[in-house]
Structure 1
Amino acid sequence: MSTDLKLGLNLGYWQRGPADATALVQAAERLGYDSVWTAEAYGSDAFTPLAWYGARTSRIKLGTSVAQISARTPAATAMTAMTLDHLTGGRLLLGIGASGPQVVEGWYGVPFARPLARTREYAEIMRRIWRREGPVTADGEHYPLPLPAQGRPGVTGLGKPLKLITRPLRPEIPLYLGAEGPRNVALAAEIADGWLPLFAFPEKIEQMYGPSLAAAGPDFDIAAMVLTLVTDDVRAALDGVKTMLTLYIGGMGARDRNFHADIIGRMGYADAAAEVQELYLSGRRDEAFAAVPDELADGISLVGPAGRIRERLEAWRKSPVTSLLVMGLGDEPSLRTVRDLVLG
């Protein structure tokens, strides 16, 4: 149980146009927010906006939520992370995730199979690179280094173990995993410094993930991404959350393999998730939206007037969550209101 929550700002994906959030990030830093996070899917990458904001701030931590492991080799991500961490004075929080088969195979053109094994190998290779204890070798199935020539047409066999040229500012950059399934959450608790849940229902976390979190150490950071809207119009705010849920449950995955729908099912809304998905995939988007339960939308978010959010925060304080990464705040007054509510 956590009574003292850290507070972060999650910006999500960068979009062209008026999406330079520098002023917002600088306001968050002034107001005492602990971190700011950026995301990637199949549009903007996570690291470039983070470097942009890092160059315009001095204290706030900089997190990726998440960098997709299929987008880059472990060495490429390790180099990017090391460089950004150096340039920003040791402020990087590296969140990585396996994404899903639609993006991995449809966008990156690589197999999605065995995401947990791939993630484990990926994390270990990055940590070997940052430690610089010697030339890096790895004999795993997914990221062997050097790449063996046997059975691989076109491979010369001339690869040699290499050691990172630049000495990292920190040999242990904090590593977070974006995870939804119980086994993936257990992996985060075992090998990472934190977990980035996309959907978290505070009253249900212990029931859903208690055994998975058993291996987590005392400093393990559960940094929940929470859609947060300060408004007197609770109905409109809940509808905003429901719009997001409609897309993720209905369209962010295949009919027979949607990790987001699965997590909603584990929260106790399996029938609703199945209905939303069926309606969405049938082109009946308005009906899919209507099928999202208000109770679900309210449970995973913080919406409404300040007093309502204050009351709802008690459930988060009693949960295992240690950081709230608020999404949806677009101006300094809203940032200040949430800061005062969370940090007191």
Structure 2
Amino acid sequence: MDRWGMTIPFFGRTPIESKALVAELPELGYTDAWSAEVAGTDGFVPLALAAEWAPGLRLGSAIVPVYTRGPALLAMSAATLADVAPGRFVLGIGASSPVIVRNWNAAEFDRPYARMRDTLRFLRTALAGEKVTASYETFDVKGFRLERAPATPPRIVLAALRPGMLRLAAREADGAITNWLSPGDVTRVRAELGEGVELIARLFVVVTEDADAARAIGRRLLAAYLTVPVYAAFHEWLGRGEVLRPMHEAWAAGDRQAAVKAIPDEVVDDLVVHGDAAACRARIREYVAAGLDTPVLAPLPGGPVSVEQAVRDLAPGLG
């Protein structure tokens, strides 16, 4: 089955304000709804609501950080969603970033690869209903057992941007989630992940034929993301280190406007899907042809087409 996902809640809307459009997603041809967790809604509540509003959708978190909840609480949240949407929930976990973990949540951001690996292994055991007493490399758990283990444990996928995490996802998880890449980049990511492992990516979309307007919207978001160290390292690995150097230098100097302006058009065009709806759908299919299993669309506000209309216009059944 070809998958075609949507990000919920929709930009500019609360989960409740998203209800009618979420309920419409299956009839539009969408197969998945994926949440996110940064500084807005949490990663679980929108999925719990969507489980009731659109019972045909597969639901996933992309992602919830492994540092901001204790291991047991993360297992409890995942078990709850797995019971609410049996066989339809995918738990996406990630290391997140020092800003979110340390600056906003007063937690230590230390040894992200090891913490991801340990959390994955703990969750596998806990969600299977087993009692966990174990000393992992980055934390200890003593005597935890879920009061109610889910009848169908959720699949677990890992946020992965570079070879080490991609290979961990291939070895021990059920898939990988990535972000901010071009169709050509998918080929490189897939080579590290290997075949037969689900690859999921959020694709930011601006439905407009005004390329300059779309690039202006995309540049602001790209500057905020690509200056985060994990994304900077990701794009260095993908070969964009030199072309993004002026942006990084301006950002480091505190000149945010110059950093935004320094992102070349070709980088925006690589990483942000834009054009009329038909062109956007064709571009999304380029990602799929390159090896992406599950595109998760995120229509951006600010263009002439409303987010609601963009969700409808980007439906896979339209061509």
Alignment of 1:212-227 (within 5 A): 212-214=192-194, 218=196, 220-227=197-204
1:30 pairs, out of 27, 30, 33, with: 27
Partner in structure 2 of residue 83 of structure 1:
80
Higher percent of residues as strand: 2
Structure 2 residue 128 is matched with structure 1 residue 138: no
Partner in structure 2 of residue 196 of structure 1:
177
Partner in structure 2 of residue 174 of structure 1:
155
1:74 pairs, out of 57, 71, 76, with: 71
SS at match of 2:17: coil
Q: Distance in 1 between matches of 2:14 and 2:30?
A: 25
Deviations 1:216-249 (A, max 9, x none): 5x2x211111012222222211221111101112
Structure having the higher Rg: 1
The residue type paired with residue 143 of structure 1 is F
Q: Distance in 2 between matches of 1:43 and 1:307?
A: 30
The residue type paired with residue 115 of structure 1 is P
Q: Distance in 1 between matches of 2:3 and 2:253?
A: 41
Structure 2 residue 80 is matched with structure 1 residue 100: no
Structure 2 residue 235 is matched with structure 1 residue 264: yes
Partner in structure 1 of residue 106 of structure 2:
109
Structure 2 residue 95 is matched with structure 1 residue 118: no
Deviations 1:165-204 (A, max 9, x none): 2131203x11111121221122112211121111121113
Structure 2 residue 311 is matched with structure 1 residue 335: yes
Q: What is the identity percentage for the equivalent residue pairs of Structure 1 and Structure 2? A: 29
Structure 2 residue 222 is matched with structure 1 residue 245: yes
Partner in structure 2 of residue 279 of structure 1:
250
Alignment of 1:51-70 (within 5 A): 51-70=48-67
The residue type paired with residue 338 of structure 1 is L
The 3 A distance-change label for structure 1 pair 334 and 243 is same
TM-score normalised to structure 1 length: 0.83
The residue type paired with residue 23 of structure 1 is A
Per-residue deviation, 1:116: 1.1
Per-residue deviation, 1:307: 4.0
The 3 A distance-change label for structure 1 pair 183 and 142 is same
Partner in structure 2 of residue 312 of structure 1:
283
Where do 5+ consecutive residues of structure 2 fail to align?
A: 301-305
Contact 1:227–1:326 (8 Å) recurs in 2 = yes
Contact 1:13–1:44 (8 Å) recurs in 2 = no
Q: Please provide the CA RMSD for this pair.
A: 2.4
Structure 2 residue 230 is matched with structure 1 residue 234: no
Alignment of 1:201-212 (within 5 A): 201-207=182-188, 210=191, 212=192
SS at match of 1:175: strand
Q: Distance in 1 between matches of 2:128 and 2:28?
A: 34
Contact 2:281–2:314 (8 Å) recurs in 1 = no
Deviations 1:230-277 (A, max 9, x none): 222222112211111011123xx3xxxx11122222332212322112
Moved more, 67-76 or 272-281: 272-281
TM-score normalised to structure 2 length: 0.89
